[in-house]
Structure 1
């Protein structure tokens, strides 16, 4: 990574996290509900028989309503568990079966299915601090998702707040771009050559 890209990522992450912390609980709840409504209209999600998602942090666009909608449709949802080697394992989500992981991130309690379980999902809903118009995703910097999604054959969809969809985010060749972006305002399809 070039030094300038690294600095640009750190500065942008800091600004985005500060903005997220300033959101009110009502704004967060409204965003989560709106994202779930837009997700329900996604063809890639409607046809998926198994979905990868995540348990959101309080400052992230909430996944609770979306997970409840999927549960109501009897769609199995796999959520990640971070491993010591910075890879991810996957556990089938059960409402209420959540604990705090070693990094303070909510994780499912249950039997790990192995890293390869991700490939059984048609779509992966992933966290992001920002996504640009080309689909480049800025995460928190640990690289868990970039590694997990490197060979993922399904659709990758990031969830962000409206003001986190940016014209450009710093990125590198190993950063896995996304195919779709869900915001409270709607669905954004990055300018890439993939039909989703």
Structure 2
């Protein structure tokens, strides 16, 4: 596990997050095509194993951006298996709508990131899934997730009365000893990396 940078001072978690995000964003941008391809193969295998372990018939996931761990091969597998997969669509009010993955349709969302296209099911549709897979900039050994700063998934997870298992997808070097935490941040049950599945107590 990698230690958090010294800038991650608990006295100012907001600025510590900004510094850490910038460092992680740069690291992701500098990954080679071969590193990305190998990571995608690993992420796909680990996510398949996670779905099997939970016996999940329905789940939520997301369309990865250019520098994120690639979720598309996994989504293609899930679609071929007949699993019901909900994909998020960002709203201006900070909430997420959901649509069922049709295996092909996507467009750029309001933040310029790839999102699914389809019938909007509303924010509460996620309450029916067996497993939730979320993006992250980093996670720590205590299960705290640090996102990219827009708060969509923190709001979603924080509003759920009965939340199924939640796993963040990160590269191996993004599992840190500690990430800066703010009051609204929501923990996750585990993390999926290209080489392993981690579960947090």
**Shorter-chain TM-score: what band?**
over 0.9
Counterpart of 1:85 in 2: which secondary structure? coil
For 1:7, the equivalent position in structure 2 comes to 15
Q: 2:192 aligned with 1:182, yes or no?
A: yes
Between 1 and 2, higher relative CO (CA 8 Å, sep ≥ 6) is seen in 2
For 1:65, the equivalent position in structure 2 comes to 73
For 1:122, the equivalent position in structure 2 comes to 130
For 1:171, the equivalent position in structure 2 comes to 181
Deviation at 1:47, TM superposition (A): 1.1
Q: Distance in 1 between matches of 2:168 and 2:143?
A: 9
For 1:94, the equivalent position in structure 2 comes to 102
For 1:157, the equivalent position in structure 2 comes to 167
Deviation at 1:153, TM superposition (A): 1.3
Change (3 A) 1:44 1:147: farther
Q: Distance in 2 between matches of 1:171 and 1:95?
A: 35
- State TM-score, norm by structure 2: 0.90
Counterpart of 1:54 in 2: which secondary structure? coil
For 2:3, the equivalent position in structure 1 comes to none
8 A contact 1:44–1:155 mirrored in 2: no
Gaps of 5+ in 1: none
Q: Distance in 1 between matches of 2:53 and 2:109?
A: 27
Q: Distance in 2 between matches of 1:119 and 1:44?
A: 20
**Structure 1 residues 131-168: Cα deviation after superposition (integer angstroms, max 9, x where no partner):** 00011011011100000111251010000000000010
Q: Distance in 2 between matches of 1:117 and 1:131?
A: 26
Q: Distance in 1 between matches of 2:11 and 2:75?
A: 38
Deviation at 1:173, TM superposition (A): 2.9
8 A contact 2:91–2:110 mirrored in 1: no
Q: After TM superposition, which residue ranges in structure 1, 4 or more long, deviate above 6 angstroms?
A: none
Gaps of 5+ in 2: 1-9
More deviation in 166-175 or 139-148? 166-175
- State TM-score, norm by structure 1: 0.92
Q: Distance in 2 between matches of 1:134 and 1:99?
A: 35
Equivalences for residues 28-67 of structure 1 within 5 A: 28-42=36-50, 46-67=54-75
More deviation in 24-33 or 84-93? 24-33
Q: How many residues align?
A: 190
**Structure 1 residues 51-85: Cα deviation after superposition (integer angstroms, max 9, x where no partner):** 10000001000001111121121001100000010
When the two chains are superposed, the root-mean-square deviation of aligned CA atoms in Å is 1.4
